[in-house]
Structure formats: structure tokens, C-alpha cells
Copies of this chain bind each other. A is one copy, B any other.
């Protein structure tokens, strides 16, 4: 239903995904935990850069991570956000994107070699990986849809609804969401500018679709309408 690529939980245990974030079931993860070390990273810190050699696979424990690419002339694109439970840094030998924290974040770092070995030794592990990547690819396609065919309002609605659904999947309320990232990150994820994102938030508020006490807490006042917007079912067409 949305663009936040990796935030789909599955009954599978595994994972693999070049640059994107993937969910991992606790038990299978636990099997590999002996090799992992924990790292605590402040907000707005770079975890790796595009082109860096991949040394570790990271599991997000707390906080949030932003995965992005930057073009020659400085234009930046956010490809995905990773939240607790997501795993990031898999795939090719060199990272295809930058990764930075958007708030204080705790990561488990699993050496790339150990992870690779685990995938090779356990065929089921590898099979589940394929499924996860296929899901991530579906999500990336959905991101293409959102960016290429939805208006500013529809894009922001789609972003908020995805966060709402994620809350729901985690047993939290679907009626409010926290926005750990900055407006710039949201804008670059949705292919908009910070001004347009800000104005759209204001319009949503004025239209009674959401309420915002602080600018990183959104309370939904008309979730059905937002969902309809997110699906591109707007009246104008």
C-alpha cells in the first residue's frame, strides 16, 4: 500500500536487500546474535556513504535511519527509512546509497562475512531472503507509482498512511504517528520540496484531516479520507 519499502513484516525469518531495509524475525536473528556488537549513534550521523565497502549488516534496535542517494549536482533522493526491527546494509559489496541516523539510534552490527556464511549454510535462510527482496522490490515499484503519478497531497497522505499502518502492525494506535525525521527527509522521500511538504501539512490541518500540536506528531482526524487520497482516488480526475 505504500512506499516505505521495508516495513512489511512476514512470517519469514530472513532478509537480503541492497541498500533498502528489511524486517527480520526475532528468532532467526537471535541465532546470529553472538557475532553482533551493539552501537549507539547520535542523530544526524552518517552510518555509511555510497560507494563504501560493506563491512557490516546492521539491525535497527531503536531510532530511525534514512537511506538516500545524492546526484552529481547535489539533488538528494531518500529511498527508504528504516525503523526498529529493520535490517540494513545487505546486498552488493559496496553500498549503493548513503545511510544516516535521523535520531539517536541503536544498531546491532553483524560482520558481513558472518552474515554471508549464515546465508550460504542455511538454504532456507537464503530462500526467505529471496522472498524478502521480492517484497522490497514490490515496495520500490510502489514508490515509483507514488512519485510519478500522485499529487503533493496524495504523496504526503500516502506517507502518513504508511506510518499509520506500520503502527497498526506493531500493535500501536493507527490514529497517530510520530515523525522522527526532518521535513527535508520527508520531502526528498516524496520527491517534493520542504516548502511544499510544509504547506501540505498546513492544508491537511486546515481541512481537518489531521491535528498537529508539535510538528513531529500527527493525529489523524479523517483517516478514511487520507487513505483515499493515498490510493490516488481523489475526486479531481
Q: Which A residues lie at the B interface, using CB under 8 A?
A: 16-20, 69, 71-77, 79, 91-92, 96-97, 123, 126-127, 129-130, 133-134, 136-138, 140-141, 143-145, 147-149, 190-191, 231-234, 237
Contacts and interface: CB of A to CB of B under 8 A. Distances in A.
B149 A71 contact: yes
Contacts of A145: 69, 71, 77
Contact of A191 (B69, B148, B234): B148
A77 B133 contact: no
Nearest to A231: B72
B77 A144 contact: yes
Given A77-B149, A91-B138, A133-B133, 19 more contacts: A18-B137, A19-B137, A72-B233, A75-B149, A91-B134, A92-B134, A92-B138, A96-B138, A123-B123, A129-B130, A130-B130, A130-B133, A136-B137, A137-B137, A140-B140, A140-B143, A144-B147, A147-B147, A147-B148
B134 A232 contact: no
Contacts of A74: 237
Contacts of A77: 144-145, 148-149
A237 B75 CA distance: 9
Helix, strand, loop or mixed for chain A's interface?
A: mixed
A74 B149 CA distance: 10
A103 to B, nearest CB: 24
B144 A79 contact: yes
A191 B16 contact: no
Given A79-B144, A144-B77, A231 B91 contact: no
